[in-house]
Each structure stands twice: as C-alpha cells, then as structure tokens.
Structure 1
C-alpha cells in the first residue's frame, strides 16, 4: 500500500513538472520576455534575503532558513509570472476564434455557475452565437459576434426566459464579447461574470435550472440544423499548450 502511494505521488509530481514545462514552452514561443521576467522574479527575493542576512549579521542557521525562504518565494513569484503570461498569450490566441467565449464560460465552475460549452443559438451564416448560463447572480446570455445582430438575438432569448421566470425578480444579464465600446473583452469575461451580486439561494438556483432545462427541451429556436456546436469547441487547455 505504501509503495503504491509513493508511486502515485511520484507520478503526480512528474506530471506537474511536465505540465509546467509544457506551459513554459507554449508561452515562451509567443512571449520573448518570459525567460527574463521569470528569472527576475526568482532571483530578486533571493538577493533580498541574502542582503537582509548580511546587513543584520544573523546567525548561520538563520541565514540558511532565510535563504531557503528566499528561494521558495522566488519560485512562487516565478510560477505566478508564468501563469499570468500564459493566460495573456492564451487569450490573445483565442480572440476571434469561434467558440472561444464558450471555452471561457465553461471554465467558470465556482459559486454555482454553470455554463454549457455548446451555444443555445448559432447563426449558420455568420457564426454569431449565444451561450446561456446561470449562477446565484441570475441568468446570463453571452453573445459572440457582431454586436447588433447578437443583441437582437439575445432579446429574443430573453423574452423566452422571462416566460419561465415570470413573477420573479431574477436578473437576466446580457453580455456581448468583443472589442467594441459596449462589449466585454474576452480576457475580462470571467471577471465580469463573477463580479455580479448574489440574488438567489441554492434552492432557487436549482429550481431555475430545472425550468431552463425544460425551456431548452421545448424550444424550437435552438441551434439551427446544419450547425454542429461541437465544432465550435475551443478547449481552454489550448491556452496553455496542454
């Protein structure tokens, strides 16, 4: 049993290291400043720790522990820099690709949020799409494509949602993803969704999801025939070269 646990821990550690290497390779191919930023993030805390020990003239045992702390902090900073730069590169590469919005929404799993990666509506000609999701903050309609066309389509979807939420004050939040004045940039979509105020209890959210599932099953205005929503799939793993 102990040997199996050691083997599993070793495999997990190797998998984590391999994952970090893949993320670094993916990011550095697009971000030429990455090696210097990571090196700076790792080295700076070590220099600070060494300088503090030298100035304070601490005991050699304290020196050792302080240097170990400096190395750990440096590795933490280096990992944080890699993660943030990888996200920026990933978002930049995903922008403009059909289905990118669904990939970002599908990755939001905290606080009861639920966003299927498949859109509820797609224009077969323009590939404009709408995703519907829920959270304790309300119902979300998130559009990808031309602002005017998407907003008109979301208004139709909003009317259908109001039929099943009639009599309640459940907010319906409409967001259009893009670089326009009234749109939400792809890299700010997750924060925009999650910063809304909580309006529903867990019980109310479960009831809402049940009504929306019934609506989707009865709807004749879903994804048009001839459009395969699975082909709009953009895995967020691709953001980090996984």
Structure 2
C-alpha cells in the first residue's frame, strides 16, 4: 500500500537551474499552452509564412542557379525561425502574466525580467494586510513598487518607505509605482516597460555606492519571505527569451 501511494504522488517539478536550454524551452511551452492552447498553431504559422516569404525574397535577389537556391533555403530557415521565436516569446510572456495576475508577489516576479544593470529586492516592506513594497535599483535611481488589495494602504506604505530611503540616499531619485489595474496604477503586463522608461539619472559607477547604502538600511529590517505562488517553474528560463520584447 505504501508503495502504491508513493507511485501516485506527483513528481516534484525540476528546478530551472538544473534544466538545459532545451528543457527550459519545453517547460515554457507547456506552461504557455495551458493558458494559450493556440500557441503551437500560431508559432508554426508565423514561422511558415515568414519562411515562405524569406525563400521568395532570397531566391529572387541573387537570381537563378545553385547560389540562389542555397541562399533561399538558408534565408527561409533564418526568417522562419526568427518569426516563430518572436511570436512564441510574446505569447509566452502574455501567458506568464496571466498566470501571475492577482497572486501575491506577482510584481516581484515580473521585475525579475529586467535586464542586467538592475538590482531587484522583493518584499522589502509589508503590513498585516499583506500589502507589500518591492524595490528596484537601476539607471532611474530607486524605484519602489507597491502591490496589494487597497491602493490607499499601498500608497501609505510607499510613503513610509520613501522617507526611510531618503534618509540614506537623499540625492538619489526615488520613484513610486503602484502595480494594479486601477486608475493611476500600472498593470502587471506593463510594469517592466514602465520602470525602464523612467529615464537614466544614475550612472553605473554610482550604483555601487547606492547599493551599499541600501544594504545598511536593509540590515535593520527583519527577514521577510516572498509570498509563494506567482512564479511559474519555467519563469527563470523564460527571462532570456522575453527581455526586450
């Protein structure tokens, strides 16, 4: 009986760190297909159409002959693969956001998709109502991102955190962002792009000093665990495909 019970238990999902590129891509496709059943058809269709156009384009330009055929085949494969990856990346990103939407810590999971040069710290502050504030440090300066069930409570939490950060980094620009779908809030699907568009006000050489000051501030805080649930097992593998798209 014990052996039968063990056999019925679902296998624990593998960590993205232990997966190779192909395994991460397969896991990403499975996650996307659960939320977007048409992803396979759309990806194949985009690759096929782009491949045919590429074949015609590269065949006509150099003219007839062996070289024309070779360039046409290579061009069709390149354009078809590129179109398929772009479509798949966009559908996967949309499915990932749909899976995270409304779950605690969703904003923190989205902020992990930021490019290099950004330092993301999830859940640096919270209250008893499970409203939380995440922090991102990058070219715009310090970005405090709040999320929760009550916008007024989130904004109050952001004001409190802003004051704390101004004590240790008064000369650094501090931005406040509320993640949500209400008025004056930034939707989860647009959060990363919104943060990236805040401008470049801090030089890379200055970030080291800013991060050092923030570590001193964080040393006075108690450790806060990130709420479980919003991060798909394949999110880390998807990050490389989704950046900048």
Shared fold (TM-score, shorter chain, > 0.5): yes
| Structure 2 unaligned blocks of 5 or more | 1-18, 239-245
Task: Find out whether 1:68 has 2:74 as its counterpart.
Answer: yes
Partner of residue 24, structure 2: 19
Partner of residue 114, structure 2: 108
SS where residue 131 of structure 1 aligns?
Answer: strand
Give the alignment of 1:194-209 within 5 angstroms.
194-209=196-211
Provide the TM-score with structure 1 as the length reference: 0.79
Partner of residue 7, structure 2: none
Moved more, 64-73 or 172-181: 64-73
SS where residue 81 of structure 1 aligns?
Answer: helix
Partner of residue 157, structure 1: 161
Shift of 1:21: 2.5
Shift of 1:74: 0.3
Q: How well do the aligned residues superpose, as a CA RMSD in angstroms?
A: 2.6
Quick check: 1:26–1:240 contact (8 Å CA) kept in 2?
A: no
CA distance in 2, matches of 1:106, 1:56: 45
Distance verdict in 2 for CA 1:72–1:204, change over 3 Å: closer
| Structure 1 unaligned blocks of 5 or more | 1-13
Aligned equivalent of 1:136, options 132, 139, 147 = 139
Give the alignment of 1:34-183 within 5 angstroms.
34-52=39-57, 53=59, 58-110=64-116, 112-117=117-122, 119-124=123-128, 126-145=129-148, 146-166=150-170, 168=171, 170-183=172-185
Q: Which runs of 4+ in 1 moved over 6 A?
A: none
Provide the TM-score with structure 2 as the length reference: 0.78
Shift of 1:151: 0.3
Task: Find out whether 1:230 has 2:230 as its counterpart.
Answer: no
Q: Could you give the per-residue CA deviations for residues 25-45 of structure 1, whole angstroms, max 9, x where no partner exists? A: 221232122222112211113
CA distance in 2, matches of 1:16, 1:182: 39
Shift of 1:201: 2.5
Shift of 1:20: 2.4
CA distance in 2, matches of 1:40, 1:90: 22
CA distance in 2, matches of 1:210, 1:56: 58
CA distance in 2, matches of 1:20, 1:107: 16
Quick check: 1:122–1:129 contact (8 Å CA) kept in 2?
A: yes
Distance verdict in 2 for CA 1:216–1:56, change over 3 Å: closer
Partner of residue 8, structure 2: none
Q: Could you give the per-residue CA deviations for residues 145-201 of structure 1, whole angstroms, max 9, x where no partner exists? A: 1211100111111111112234x2x21100000111111111111111112222223
